[in-house]
């Protein structure tokens, strides 16, 4: 039927495309394809090496920054505990408006309440 003829035509067309492609794959074309593939592999390997190297540098920077952050948080906590409520209020009044955002205020509130409670408890 017509369906079978269409299938045969499409199959014949595919065979012709593949065979013409194979005819064009001379040793010269194959050699060029191989050189292109080798060049792409070389570029890929170089990029992967560069990315791995950069990742290692960034990991080290992250580690150093995390240690510094931890140290600064400990110092900040210590200073908050040693400061009087008046000193904390004076400090807050000098901060720029960006530092007084809700997130920054929430971080400061627990530390501000602790010294007042601590001082009240020790006075008793």
Q: Which of 72, 74, 75, 86 is nearest to 115 (CA)?
A: 86
pLDDT at residue 116 in the model: 42
Q: First-to-last CA distance in the chain?
A: 105
Distance CA 124, CA 116 (A): 13
pLDDT at residue 99 in the model: 59
Residues 6+ apart with CB under 8 A from 104: 95, 98
The pLDDT confidence band at residue 119, using thresholds 50, 70 and 90, is: very low
Q: What is the pLDDT of residues 34-58, one digit of tens each?
A: 899 999 999 999 999 999 999 999 9
Q: What is the pTM of this model?
A: 0.47
Is the pLDDT at 112 greater than 50? The verdict is: no
pLDDT at residue 88 in the model: 85
**Token reading at 17:** 């495309």
58 vs 104, more confident: 58
pLDDT at residue 28 in the model: 75
pLDDT at residue 78 in the model: 94
Residue 96 has what DSSP assignment? -
Q: What is the pLDDT of residues 59-101, one digit of tens each?
A: 999 999 999 999 999 999 999 999 898 888 888 888 876 655 5
């Amino acid at each position: 039927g017509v369906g079978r003829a269409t299938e045969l035509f499409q199959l014949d067309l595919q065979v012709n495309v593949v065979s013409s492609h194979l005819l064009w794959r001379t040793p010269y074309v194959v050699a060029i394809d191989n050189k292109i593939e080798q060049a792409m592999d070389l570029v890929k390997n170089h990029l992967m090496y560069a990315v791995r190297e950069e990742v290692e540098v960034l990991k080290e920077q992250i580690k150093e920054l995390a240690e510094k952050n931890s140290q600064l948080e400990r110092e900040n906590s210590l200073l908050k505990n040693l400061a009087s409520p008046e000193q904390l209020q004076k400090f807050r009044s000098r901060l720029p408006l960006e530092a007084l955002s809700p997130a920054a205020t929430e971080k400061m509130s627990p530390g501000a309440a602790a010294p007042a409670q601590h001082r009240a408890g020790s006075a008793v």
